[in-house]
A = this chain, B = another copy of it.
Amino acid sequence: MKKQTSAPRLSIAEENYLKAIYKLTEHSERPAATTAIAEQMQTAAASVTDMLKRLADKGLIHYERYKGVSLSDEGLRLATHLVRKHRLWEVFLVDKLGFGWDKVHDIAEQLEHIRSPELVERLDEFLGRPRFDPHGDPIPDAEGQFAERQQILLCKLTEGQQGVIVGVAEHAPSFLQFLDKLSLVLGTCLEVVERFDFDDSMKVRLPDGREVLLSSKVTHNLFVQKQPV
C-alpha cells in the first residue's frame, strides 16, 4: 500500500468507482460497503475488492479490509470534478442541444470522462456558469464548492402552502417522463390543496388551475422552495 506521489491519470473504470463511492458516502458519515459499490456499479463484489486495492494504492480512498471505504481528500476532489463535468454536460445537452431531461444521463456519463481542464472551463463559461443542472442538482465550481439553496421535499409542505419546483431527488427516466406529462417541470409553482397523511399523497393546484393528486413517491422526490403566501 505505497503512497502515490504524482498524479497518475485515472482510467475510466477508476473514475467510475470514485463516483460510485462518492454517491454512496455523499449523504452519510459511514464508509461505503463493498457490496453497495458492487450494486451501484452493476459488477461483482470480487471486482470491487480488486479495484479498491488499486485506488487505495493510489491514495484516493481510505481502505481497511472488511471495513468499507471512504474517499481521501484527493479522491473527493477528483470525484467532485467528475460531478462538475457530468452536470455541466447535462446543462449543455438540455439547454443547447434540446435534449429532454430524461435523456441526458447516459450521454453525460460518457462526456464526464473527457480529459481537458480548458474544455471544462470554456464549457462552463459558454453555458453562463450555471449553478444547477437540469435536474436541479448543484454544480460544483472549479474549486469544488457547491451552491447552497433553501429547499425541502414537497411532502413537507402543509395545506395552503405554495412552492416552486427546483429539483428532483429521483432521476429515473420513467419518473421524469411522468413529471413531463403533468407539466411538473423545474420552475413550476404549486399550492398544496389537501394532504392525505395516511399515504403521504397530496392534492396540489398548478398554475393553470388544474388540481392533481400526487402519490407519496412523487411528493417525496420533488424538491421545492417554499413561497411566501
Contact = CB atoms under 8 A, between A and B. Distances in A.
Interface of A: 93, 96-99, 103, 106-107, 110-111, 114-116, 118-119, 122-123, 126
A157 to B, nearest CB: 37
B116 A97 contact: no
A123 B97 contact: yes
A80 to B, nearest CB: 21
Given A96-B126, A126-B96, A126-B97, A115 B119 contact: no
Given A98-B122, A99-B118, A111-B114, 14 more contacts: A93-B119, A96-B126, A97-B119, A97-B122, A97-B123, A97-B126, A103-B118, A106-B116, A107-B114, A107-B116, A107-B119, A110-B114, A110-B116, A111-B111
A112 to B, nearest CB: 11
B115 A110 contact: yes
Contacts of A99: 118, 122
Nearest to A115: B110
Contacts of A96: 126
Contacts of A123: 97
Contacts of A103: 118
Contacts of A97: 119, 122-123, 126
A122 to B, nearest CB: 4
Nearest to A122: B97
